[in-house]
Structure 1
Amino acid sequence: MNDPPGVRPDPAMRLLGLYDEALPRVYGYLLARSGSAAVAEEVTAEAFLAAVAACRKPDPPPLTVGWLIGVARHKLVDHWRAVGRDRQRVEPLADHDPGCDPWDVQLDITVAHQVLATLSYPHRAVLTLRYLDGLSVAEVGSCLDRTTHATEALLTRAKRAFRSAYEGKEGTR
């Protein structure tokens, strides 16, 4: 169907054609990283709303599933930041004892996911982006609006927190 002369079609309609293919992949990406269906659903919705807004800009980005997953990654980081800010107002951050690097051992994937869900949001974000998404420390820092040195320090604290929680969880099995 042709549009009447002078009427410009809504560029966000192009997103509709990609929706059926992209939705399960974006949701699956978020579910695997958040460990929560509720969070994955909420962030998936936010990602698609952001995609619609981006499509309506004068120079819209190329619409691909990869681009949508990138939008979803940024929205998940935004979610973790918001929750982390809320949590920091209520709970002081725990100081963890230093330990050896937990990435040098084989991990029980189920226990690892459970432990990851118990960590503070900044720790969960840095570990997820670095080790699940495979981003470099500099790329993680960019996602979290931190310098490389600050990201390295956060990653060190997150590893220690993970190790401590993982060993405690493993001892209860």
Structure 2
Amino acid sequence: MGVMPDPALGLLERYEEALPHVYGYLLARCGDRSLAEDLTAEAFLAAVVAVRGPAAPDPTVAWLIGVARHKLADHWRRLEREQRGLRLIDSGTEHRDDPWDETVDAIRARTVLAGLGPHHRAALTLRYVDGLPVGEVAALLGRTVHATEALLVRARNAFRRSYREEGSS
């Protein structure tokens, strides 16, 4: 009976192709090179564990970006827990679909997004940058759909408020 090859070798073969995509995905969403590097490493380590497990997935670039998305959401959840004491009191919630009604300057928007709390930043990034449906955002953030909808309302309001303030300074 021979030794079975390590299933992670397939991932290793795909590493050079996937690395810039995974890192670029993370950097575009967090805006911090050091954090993007750390999360990229975490994503590839998680991928190694996954491909060595039962029902191992095919480590495509798209699948690896999905792993990276989960690592970014985990990071934001950790930040949210650390900053829980700093949360603003909700001044009311609306539960209606509220599409962005402003033309947004990308550079100013990135600055505003970086200044929001991690829970707002995570929700807005997953919903509007990644284009995920609310149900998937909820699953990634470990919240109910109802709680995620309320979070998105608060996050959009916080973004608009900060965006207007950023524009008037």
CA shift at 1:94, angstroms? Answer: 2.2
Instruction: Pick from 89, 93, 96 the counterpart of residue 87 of structure 2.
Output: 93
3-state DSSP of counterpart to 1:44: helix
1:165 aligns with 2:168: no
- Equivalent in the alignment of 1:60: 56
1:84 aligns with 2:80: yes
Aligned counterparts, 1:56-135, within 5 A? 56-89=52-85, 92-95=86-89, 103-135=100-132
The percentage of aligned residue pairs carrying the same residue is 57
3-state DSSP of counterpart to 1:122: helix
Judge conservation of contact 1:97–1:160 (CA < 8 Å) in 2.
no
- Equivalent in the alignment of 2:141: 144
TM-score, normalising length from structure 1? 0.90
CA shift at 1:144, angstroms? Answer: 1.1
CA shift at 1:96, angstroms? Answer: 6.3
**In terms of Rg, which structure is larger?**
1
Judge conservation of contact 1:102–1:163 (CA < 8 Å) in 2.
no
Judge conservation of contact 1:54–1:60 (CA < 8 Å) in 2.
yes
2:27 and 2:90 map into 1 onto residues whose CA distance is: 28
2:91 and 2:158 map into 1 onto residues whose CA distance is: 8
Superposed CA offset, 1:101-152 (max 9, x none): 6810111100100000011111001100100011111111111111111110
1:16 aligns with 2:12: yes
3-state DSSP of counterpart to 2:75: helix
- In structure 1, the gaps of 5 or more residues are none
Change (3 A) 1:164 1:95: farther
3-state DSSP of counterpart to 1:14: helix
Judge conservation of contact 1:12–1:56 (CA < 8 Å) in 2.
yes
TM-score, normalising length from structure 2? 0.92
- In structure 2, the gaps of 5 or more residues are 93-97
1:149 and 1:55 map into 2 onto residues whose CA distance is: 34
CA shift at 1:58, angstroms? Answer: 2.7
Letter of the 1:139 partner, please give it: E
- Equivalent in the alignment of 1:41: 37
For the aligned residue pairs, the C-alpha RMSD in angstroms reads 1.8
